[in-house]
Amino acid sequence: YALQGSRWRVKALTYKISKYPKRLKRSDVDTEVAKAFSVWSEYTDLTFTPKASGPVHIEIKFVESEHGDGDAFDGVGGTLAHAFFPVFGGDAHFDDAEQWTVNSPRGTNLFQVAAHEFGHSLGLSHSDVRSALMAPFYRGYEPVFKLDTDDVLAIQALYGKKSTQNGNGLNPTSGGAFPRTTQRPAFTPPRAPRDDVICKDPKIDALFNSAEGQTYAFKGNKYYKLTENSIAEGYPKLIAEGWPGLPGDIDAAFTYKNGKTYFFKGTKYWRYNGRQMDGDYPKEISEGFTGIPDHLDAAMVWGGNGKIYFYKGSKFWRFDPLKRPPVKSSYPKPISNWEGLPNSLDAALQYTNGYTYFFKGDKYYRFNDRTFAVDSADPPFPRPSAHWWFGCKNTPSSTGVDDHQAHDEASEADRSVMSNSA
Amino acid sequence: VQSGPVSTTTQAEIYLSQFGYLPASARNPANGGLLDANTWTKAVQDFQSFAGLNVTGELDDETMRLMSMPRCGVRDKVGFGTDSRSKR
């Protein structure tokens, strides 16, 4: 998926249909439009309230030809509708020359097109995932509508997961999304005093989110389950016991949209479905991940576009399994393209709360996908991983900054960034 | 603004510029603007890549068929679109 770069600062949005189509009943249009909005509110805390008059966030119009925005419609077929991103107002325009229909294989299905356009109104760009609602092409009437995982990930990247959502929405293969378990882990002082090897030496091998939403850190032959601001009780445990067949000293790991977790070490990789090896592994990286080097430093699925990024030394590679070749000829590129990141990373963690985290040595960097740079914050990045991620006692939170003040300012900085949008 | 099937290079050119694969100047073929072969091939490849087609750079039947499909009028987030990223 692709995010345009703006979003609404509020989750309670209003809309009105200021010009109805010629050939449909108003009540049908009202119903279909409400249903189209509900596609997005089902997976987020967004709410959409219709208004008959007055200012609204999203104005909907059925118009023909030139209609005042300089982007004229083209009659039957061709362009069906367009919508403006939040930063441009969020309005959605539908070409009234089309034969808009409801629950019919004839004409153009209003619900499907409206749901797509409202995706733009909320900040989503076109996706290159063909099955996604946000793919640009109209696929014809689909009597049973199901939002693609790609769309769910996209909208949740902007507005977060629905707070009341139960577990069944989390299966990436069934239209769900990865849960946001890695919300900034340590804005409150660490509570659990830890006396463990990870506190003495916080350098880690790999970090990843499981499909179930747990975040794990791998170090040597042990793994740690992370809580919001520390390490879960009873950890570390042996990797060989948690993921039977997997060796220690892993180089990199990530969980892909298919819910499978990939581990890399040396020239080989392993694929797991949950805690079970998913077939005959290990396999050679050069076979399963053509174009990606051996002996990786880090890997992640970047929330900015859902593609897989690999890091090694001073270079990075972008891997798209849907493309041939999966790595474009323009790669590798220098890590310096990621403003503020050092070379020779240890680990990278998939974006879930608007940020991507990179780890090197005993420190971590918070990367802002919107500014495409390591965040400026107080205390500054890099920050010590032991304090902020692993809840270690008697470890510094920063250098030369009062702890209490640092926490407050960091929280404030995060909040302002999260709401910094249209 | 174009409607209907894409069956010629000129129509494809308009389509590719309309949806952000070619610069806006290519949108009006009457202005005499010439596209170099690389730019054209790259634009077709970008479209094919985005649309999940075989990336050949050739304006083949499958590519034109997809260009002829009804679609959303918002530009795809590639190339010359106003929303394209300046830095990745």
pLDDT at B85: 33
Q: What is the mean pLDDT of chain A?
A: 84
Instruction: Please name the residues in contact with A388: beta carbons below 8 A apart, sequence gap of 6 or more.
Output: A185, A186, A229, A364, A397
What's the pLDDT at A303? Answer: 74
- Interatomic CA distance for residues A387 and A397, integer angstroms: 5
Chain centroid to Cα A2, Å, comes to 10
Per-residue b/e over A330-353, b at no fewer than 16 CB within 10 Å? ebbeebeebebbbeebbbbbbbbb
**Which one has a higher pLDDT value, A347 or A197?**
A347
Best residue of A125, A327, A328, A329 to probe chain B, by most B CBs closer than 10 Å: A125
Any idea what the Cα angle at residue A325 is, between residues A320 and A329, rounded to 5°?
A: 95
Confidence grade of residue A59 (pLDDT, cut at 50, 70, 90): very high
With cut-offs at 50, 70 and 90, classify the pLDDT of residue B1: very low
- pLDDT value, residue B33: 60
The CA distance from A245 to the nearest CA of chain B, in Å, is 36
CA distance A193 to chain B (A): 40
List all residues 6 or more positions away from A23 whose beta carbon is below 8 Å from its beta carbon: A99, A100
Distance CA A219, CA A307 (A): 25
- Which are the catalytic amino acids of A? 117
Q: Kindly report, residue by residue over A270-290, the tens digit of the pLDDT.
A: 999 989 999 999 999 999 999
Given B50, B83, B88, which is nearest A128 (Cβ)?
A: B50
At residue A30 the predicted structure's pLDDT band, cuts being 50, 70 and 90, is very high
Mean pLDDT score, A394-417: 41
pLDDT band at A186 (very low <50, low <70, confident <90, very high): very low
Interface of B with A (CB under 8 A): 1-4, 19, 49-52, 54-55, 66, 69-77, 83, 85, 87-88
With cut-offs at 50, 70 and 90, classify the pLDDT of residue A175: very low
A51-63 in b/e form (b: 16+ CB < 10 A) is: eeeeebbbbbbbb
Q: How confident is the model over A322-346, as pLDDT tens digits?
A: 888 999 999 999 999 999 999 999 9
pLDDT value at position A421?
A: 30
- Segment A129-141 shows an average pLDDT of 92
| Alpha carbon distance A64, A71 (integer Å) | 11
- Chain B nearest-CA distance from A395, in A, is 35
Q: Which residues contact A160 (CB under 8 A, 6 or more apart)?
A: A44, A45, A180, A353
Chain B residues near residue A128 by CB distance under 8 angstroms: 49-52
Radius of gyration of chain A from its Cα atoms, rounded to whole angstroms: 23
How would you label A354-377 residue by residue, b for 16+ Cβ within 10 Å and e otherwise?
Answer: bbbbbbbbbbbbbbbbeebebbeb
- DSSP-based three-state secondary structure for A409: helix
Beta-bridge partner residues of A19: A61
Q: Which residues of B touch A117 (CB under 8 A)?
A: 72
Q: Give the one of A72, A74, A125 whose C-beta lies nearest to B77's C-beta.
A: A125
Judging contacts by C-beta atoms under 8 Å, the chain A residues touching residue B85 are 372
H or E, element range at B62: helix B61-67
Confidence band for A302, pLDDT divided at 50, 70 and 90: confident
pLDDT 10s digits, A10-29 = 999 999 999 999 999 999 99
pLDDT digits 0-9 by tens, B25-49: 655 555 556 778 888 998 999 999 8
- Rounded to 10°, the helix A110-122/A149-159 angle is 40
Given a cut of 80, whether residue A179 has pLDDT beyond it is no
Q: Is the CB of A136 inside 8 Å of chain B's CB atoms?
A: yes
CA distances from A94 to A49, A186, A287, A360, B73 (A): 20, 46, 47, 50, 10
**pLDDT tens digits for range A92-115:** 999 999 999 999 889 999 999 999
* In chain A, residues 354-373 whose CB comes closer than 8 Å to chain B: 372
What is the pLDDT, as a whole number, of residue A354? Answer: 56
Residue A138: closest CA among chain B residues belongs to which residue?
Answer: B71
On the question of pLDDT at A296 being above 60, the answer is yes
Mean pLDDT over A138-148 rounds to: 90
Q: Which chain B residues contact residue A69 at CB under 8 A?
A: none
- B71–A71 CB contact, under 8 Å: no
Q: So what's the pLDDT on residue A305?
A: 78
For residue A367, the distance in angstroms to the closest alpha carbon of chain B comes to 13
Q: Which of the residue ranges A167-176, A360-369, B11-20 would you say has the lowest mean pLDDT?
A: A167-176
* Residue range A344-363: mean pLDDT, rounded: 85
% pLDDT > 70, chain A: 84
User: Which residue in chain A is spatially nearest to B46 when comparing CA positions?
Assistant: A128
Q: What is the mean pLDDT of chain B?
A: 78
CB pairs under 8 A between A and B: 87
